[in-house]
Amino acid sequence: MKLTRLASAFALSAAVCASVFAADTVKIGVQAPITGKYANEGQGIDNFVRLIVDEKNKEGGLLGKKIEVVTCDDEAKAQKAAVCAKKLSNAGVFAVIGSYTSGATEAAQTTYYRNKILQTSDGTSDSLIKRKYWTFFRNSFPNSAQGEFTADYFVNQKKYERIVVLSDYSSYSDGLADSVEDSIKKLGGNVAFRGKIKSGTQNFTAILTKVKALNPDVIYYSGYYTDGGLLRVQQQQLGINADFVGGDSNDNPDFLKLAGKTAAGVYLVNVPTPDILPYEAAKKYLTAYEDRFNMKPPSIWAVVNADGLRAVMEGVEKTNSFDTKKISDYIRNDMKDFPGITGPFNIREDGERVGASLMVYQIQEDGSYKVSFNK
Amino acid sequence: MDIFLQQLINGLTIGSLYALVALGYTMVYGVMKLINFAHGDLVAFSAYVGLTIFTQFFGASAVSFVDVIIIFLFTSIIVAFVGVLLERLAYRPLRTAPRLSAVVSALGAALVIQNGIMLIWGPNMQIFPADLLPSTIWNISGVIITFTQVCILALSAVLMIALYFFINKTKIGTAIRATAIDQDAAKLMGINVNRIIMIIFVVGSMLGAIGGLFIGLYYRSLTFDMGWVYGLSAFIAAIIGGIGSIPGAMIGGLLLGLFNALIAGYISTEWAETLTFVLLIIILIVRPTGILGEKTAEKV
Amino acid sequence: MNKTTSIATIFILVMAVFPFLVDSAWLSIGITFLVFATVAFSQDIILGRAGVFNMGHAIFFGIGAYTTAILNVQFGLEIIATIPFAIIFPVIIAIFLAGPIIHLRGDYLLVATIGFNIIFEQVLSNDLFGLTGGPNGIFGIDVVRIFGYELWTDTSIYYIAFGLLIITLLIIRNLDNSRYGRALYYINKDEIAAKSMGINVPYYKLFAFALGAAIAGAAGSIFAIQYSAVSPESFSFMQSVMFFAIVLVGGSASLPGVIIGTFVMFVLPELFTEFKESRYLIFGAAMVLTMVLRPNGVWPATFGNIPKYLKEKALKHKALKDNSKGETE
């Protein structure tokens, strides 16, 4: 009985082998949280990639070859990301867009590096560039840039006097909060309290009660929207009279849902939102996205990843090859001011994206964003 | 001092929620000696059901007091029905089977419910609307207490007192206690054990459903796997209070909530859950029968 | 050669040539199967043979994996050098954790192991002493290097895992034929009778824990090598439930049973990717169904049970006796 089961397993696996990829297609991988708590971000990334790929295929493909998209769901979990890295590598992709979270990106990085597969991600954790893998380039702006910008805003613009900095325990959020704290101290500002919350515990009244006693004028949270929204609600419930400023990962429609009425007045620090982008490519692609998927991209993150993909495709066409080392060299050394949807796209020698343009928005009563400060 | 009071209120609120859920576990274990692993997921299920009833029939806008009662009632009935179904399909056929088989069946049932939730409502996080209950807040000399918290504390207290009377002062309650002590003797006394077990699942599930709705109202974000570890914590709370004892489950739940809040407030939010579990294990090792449990001799 | 041995032999032969028959995607699955089968067998020693309700086995798997990860990434040890530690640490922890709870009654011990598992997960997530890497775990684990030769291809990792499984099966075979194995069997069948025969029950139970932990730790090490990354959610309480279920649904103390159980839990979903989303639901339903229909597992062990032909002989004998009795009365 067991033997027939094994036999059928082999038969099936033989069938799988038989579906050899035809010689005139290339594969691009998407590694993103398609399910799980950041699902709408992951789905946004996947959607945008497919939008761009379909457009390219209509134009004749990449160097004449049709592009096939292979998606792997990493659920924003590091272990699943490592599994996805293996899966996508085995599937024969030459480049991967992903992931949304820095943690999932980093878990997969080494496997893609060993397999010489290009990888681009919106993860902002500075540690992503630490190993300087030639296969990796960032398509968003790093935490250190955001930290400096936020500190400048707090100390020089708003002149806050008692700043509370909160993060969760992920390397991304912790790193961002550290970056903000250091930059504030460098500018002479006062960080009254630096604390951490456990993501997902939902009840933050313990730490907020501690914070209340310090009488802060601003609470800065560097983690994700799933916790940020609840922090804001509970801040108001406890009667803490302070501004609430969220880092880039609070920028998501679910933040508004969680915070409900208390979302009004919250400030968010982030790169320009899709509808504010003044660039040519922006209007074209955003309209195309809305037409096809009947909704706007969930946030800027899907868009920067799309830029990453477009940069890779540009690299293929300009080097006229799928040699990932050549493409990587092109992107780092020869590509200047590539017209991205999110602005001029420039990648440094170590894979870092340079030229950050950040803004501060305030959430209005009706849920819309109003630009409150930009450099 | 008011930090302490604040944490106390938080702790009692969380504890009441744990107590409501723990009651379902303790009643089932008391009579059937079975850890109903699926109970926690049933509680999560009730939060989702409540959310759906609210958004589908009331348009997710502010509702009146009567509407809230209707939502609670309907959710409890649906969940009680599923609870009885669970007993019939997964537990009744295994009454005479080895203990471990029933444990595996319970785990399997938990997976079915958990993933059933995922398939019906999707894997994304769902958010409980903020205005099902009024968001009035009272500030008593620095200590904040919300309307929702008052509801939870009040209703849980009422339910627990009602349950206590039900178990100790009514005929059915006595029958339940008898079945818990010795199923076969109870049968000989003319008690319909199948009916008793069904009643236990109905009552336990309804309490769990009310707990689940409050969890949705209090914590606001729902994920399909939220019942899994939550239920487990509630079960361990029931053990601390004395598994099989209803006052024990109540005390255990409240204690767990208080531990959690006080450790989070005074020691560390990072290690609150861990230290709580360490405490639970120490109690398990030192006094496994719990605070109100009695040592029963095992017949060889 | 009895049935179990012949099945084992066929299984080993097939798995030995497996890498040459399939493509890289399936090779990855094959490695996963071998690693998890090894862990399942180690859980079988504790749960299936000794009858101890251990629902925290993922702890030992995880300690092995994290030991390799930490020693390699944080302290720079060669992977080969980390393996002895990945075996010893779980054993130490097993004795440390199981010691205080081994005297507890079945259900209480079960809950205690669950509690330990949850604490373990938290310790990993909270980046204890800055070593365990937080919720994202540890990545960038090196490759296995022997005398300067790098074994980083999936094929080589496969054979390392395969080697471990063979060793595990040999250990279990030796165990069954030894004094320890017999003691565990008696303890499982009737603990009080075993005690009255003079068997030191806590000692043997702890032994089972230690042995199971050691094997799981080694498997964990290979897991870490395969993915170059470890993170807390792979060693969660749910994972322990999986191992628990594999042993009971497949059949305790039964080699074909554990293999079937591992196959169903970890390989079947890969075959039916259309049902990927509902795979846990199908497992859950399968668990309930299997227990209701076959409470002793899909392929229960036959060890220690009266062989069928003897049973039939006894029944025939009894029938004859009853008939003759009936005539005289």
DSSP 8-state symbol, A170: S
Distance from CA of B90 to the nearest CA of A (A): 27
Domain boundary among A270, A301, A333: A270
Are the beta carbons of A79 and C228 separated by less than 8 Å? no
Range of the domain at C307: 3-328
pLDDT of residue A2: 52
| Lowest-confidence region among A267-281, B236-250, C156-170 | A267-281
Q: CB distance A36–B221 less than 8 Å?
A: no
pLDDT of residue B68: 84
Q: Are A260 and B220 in contact (CB under 8 A)?
A: no
- Chain B residues contacting A, CB < 8 Å? 3, 6-7, 10, 14, 123-125, 127, 129-131, 137, 139, 144, 146, 218-221, 223, 261, 264-265, 269-270, 272-273
- Which residues lie closer than 8 Å to C171 by C-beta, 6 or more apart? C211, C215
Same domain for A245 and A309, yes or no, is no
Domain count for chain A, please give it.
2
| Pick among C240, C291, C294 to test the B interface (most B CBs inside 10 A) | C291
User: What integer pLDDT is reported at residue C301 of this predicted model?
Assistant: 78
Q: Report whether C229 contacts A78 (CB < 8 A).
A: yes
* CA–CA gap between residue B221 and residue A258 (Å, rounded): 7
**Per mean pLDDT, which of A191-200, B37-46, B56-65 is the most reliable?**
B37-46
A353 in Cβ contact with A137 (< 8 Å): yes
| Distance (Å, whole) CA C28 – CA A85 | 12
For the cut 90, the answer to whether the pLDDT of residue A135 exceeds it is yes
Q: How sure is the predictor about B28, in pLDDT bands with cuts at 50, 70 and 90?
A: very high
3-state secondary structure chain B: CHHHHHHHHHHHHHHHHHHHHHHHHHHHHHHHCCCCCHHHHHHHHHHHHHHHHHHHHCCCCCCCHHHHHHHHHHHHHHHHHHHHHHHHHHHHHHCCCCHHHHHHHHHHHHHHHHHHHHHHHCCCCEECCCCCCCCCEEEECCEEEEHHHHHHHHHHHHHHHHHHHHHHHCHHHHHHHHHHHCHHHHHHCCCCHHHHHHHHHHHHHHHHHHHHHHHHHHHCEECCCHHHHHHHHHHHHHHHHHCCCHHHHHHHHHHHHHHHHHHHHHCCCCCHHHHHHHHHHHHHHHCCCCCCCCCCCCCC
Q: Please give the torsion angle defined by the CA atoms of residues A283, A287, A293 and A296, in that order, rounded to the nearest 10 degrees.
A: 50
- Residue B220 near residue B265, CB atoms below 8 Å: no
Q: Which amino acid is at B231?
A: G
ipTM comes to: 0.87
- Same domain assignment for residues A90 and A169: no
- Which pLDDT score, from 0 to 100, does residue C151 have? 77
Residue A15 has pLDDT above 60, yes or no: no
Q: Is A161 exposed, middle or buried (0-12, 13-18, 19+ CB in 10 A)?
A: middle
Per-residue pLDDT at A1: 44
Say what the pLDDT of residue A18 is. 39
Q: Which residues of chain C carry a pLDDT beneath 70?
A: 1, 272-277, 303-309, 311, 325-329
**In angstroms, rounded to a whole number, what is the distance separating the alpha carbons of residues A341 and A273?**
11
Contact A78 C231 (CB under 8 A): yes
Rounded Cα distance between C282 and C275, Å, is: 9
Sorting pLDDT into bands at 50, 70 and 90, what band is B260? confident
Are the Cβ atoms of C135 and A78 closer than 8 angstroms?
yes
Residue A371 lies in a domain: no
> How many CB atoms within 10 Å of residue A22?
9
- How far is CA A230 from each of CA A43, A64, A258, B97, C135, rounded to the nearest angstrom? 23, 50, 6, 46, 20
Q: Which tops the pLDDT comparison, A191 or B262?
A: A191
Looking at per-residue pLDDT, the higher value among B179 and C280 belongs to B179
What mean pLDDT is predicted for residues A234-254?
A: 89
A149 and A133 part of one domain: no
pLDDT confidence of residue C305: 61
- Confidence band of A13 (pLDDT split at 50, 70, 90): very low
Q: Please compute, for residue A158, the number of CA atoms within 13 A of its CA located in the half-sphere on the CB side.
A: 25
Nearest to C139 by CA among A79, A173, B154: A79
Of A39, A196, A204, the CB nearest to B270: A196
- Residues A203, A265 within the same domain: yes
Q: Which chains are adjacent to chain B, needing at least 3 Cβ pairs under 8 Å?
A: A, C
Q: Which domain holds residue A47?
A: 23-141+278-354
Please report which confidence band the pLDDT of residue A3 belongs to, taking 50, 70 and 90 as the band edges. Answer: low
* pLDDT, average across residues B99-122: 91
Say whether pLDDT at B296 is over 80. no
Q: Report if residue A13 sits inside a domain.
A: no
Residue A140 or C277, more confident: A140
pLDDT, residue B212, reads 94
Residue range A259-281: mean pLDDT, rounded: 84
Per-residue confidence (pLDDT) for residue B273, from 0 to 100: 81
Percentage, residues of chain A above pLDDT 70: 94
Q: Are residues A158 and A69 part of one domain?
A: no
Among the ranges given (A9-23, A231-245, A308-322, C123-137), the one the predictor scored with the smallest mean pLDDT: A9-23
- Amino acid A167: pLDDT: 93
In a domain, A18, yes or no: no
| Cα-Cα end-to-end distance for chain A | 71
CB contact under 8 A, B98 and C295: yes
A217, A247, A270 - which closes a domain: A270
* Banded model confidence at residue A286, pLDDT cuts 50, 70, 90: confident
Sequence-separated contacts (24+) of B10-13 with Cβ below 8 Å: B10/A203, B10/A205, B10/A206, B10/B261, B10/B265, B11/B257, B11/B258, B11/B259, B11/B260, B11/B261, B11/B262, B12/B153, B12/B254, B12/B257, B12/B258, B13/B149, B13/B152, B13/B153, B13/B218, B13/B257
- CA triple C157-A115-A176, angle to 5 deg: 105
Chains in touch with A (≥3 Cβ pairs < 8 A): B, C
Which conformational region is residue B129 in: left (phi greater than 0), alpha (psi within -120 to 50 degrees), or beta?
beta
* Residue A207 C-alpha, separation from nearest chain B C-alpha, in angstroms: 7
Res. B123 pLDDT band, cuts 50 70 90? confident
- Which residues of chain C make contact with A103, given a CB cutoff of 8 A? 135-137
Nearest to C220 by CA among C106, C101, C117, C88: C88
Contact A29, A94 (CB under 8 A): no
3-state secondary structure of C59: helix
And the tokens for B297?
A: 């001799």
In a domain, A335, yes or no: yes
The total number of structural domains in chain C stands at: 1
Confidence of residue A170 (pLDDT cuts 50, 70, 90): confident
Q: What is the pLDDT of residue A11?
A: 46
The pLDDT, as a whole number, for residue C303 is: 61
Beta-carbon contacts below 8 Å between A and C: 91
**How many CB pairs below 8 A link A and B?**
72
pLDDT of B227 > 80? The answer is yes
Residues of A with Cβ-Cβ distance to B218 under 8 angstroms: 203
ω before A99 within 30° of 0 (cis)? yes
Residues A263 and A284 in one domain: no
Same domain, A114 and A150: no
Task: Say what the pLDDT of residue A7 is.
Answer: 47
| Token representation of residue B207 | 């309490």
**Mutation to test the B interface, candidates C43, C129, C292, most B Cβ within 10 Å:** C292
Q: Map out the domains of chain B with their CATH numbers.
A: 2-134+145-286 (1.10.3470)
| Mean pLDDT along residues A85-92 | 89
pLDDT at A16: 44
B270 vs B19, residue with greater confidence: B19
What residues in C contact B284, CB-CB < 8 Å?
Answer: 101, 104, 108, 111-112, 115
A206 and A61 together in one domain? no
pLDDT of residue B110: 94
Nearest to B104 among C107, C119, C287 (CB): C287
Which residue of chain C comes nearest to B97, CA vs CA? Answer: C295
Q: What share of chain C is helix, strand, coil (3-state, %, to 5)?
A: 75, 5, 20
Is A262 part of any domain?
yes
Question: Residue A126: its pLDDT value, please?
Answer: 84
Mean pLDDT, residues B121-146 taken together? 80
Q: For residue A291, is pLDDT > 50?
A: yes
CATH of residue A240: 3.40.50.2300
- Please tell me whether residues A105 and A131 are part of one structural domain: yes
User: Do A166 and A231 reside in the same domain of the chain?
Assistant: yes
C-alpha closest to that of C104 among C55, C144, C71: C55
Give me the pLDDT at residue C216, please.
Answer: 96
DSSP helix/strand/coil, A71: strand
Q: Which has the higher per-residue pLDDT, B5 or B37?
A: B37
Which of residues A247, A270, A293 is at a domain's end?
Answer: A270
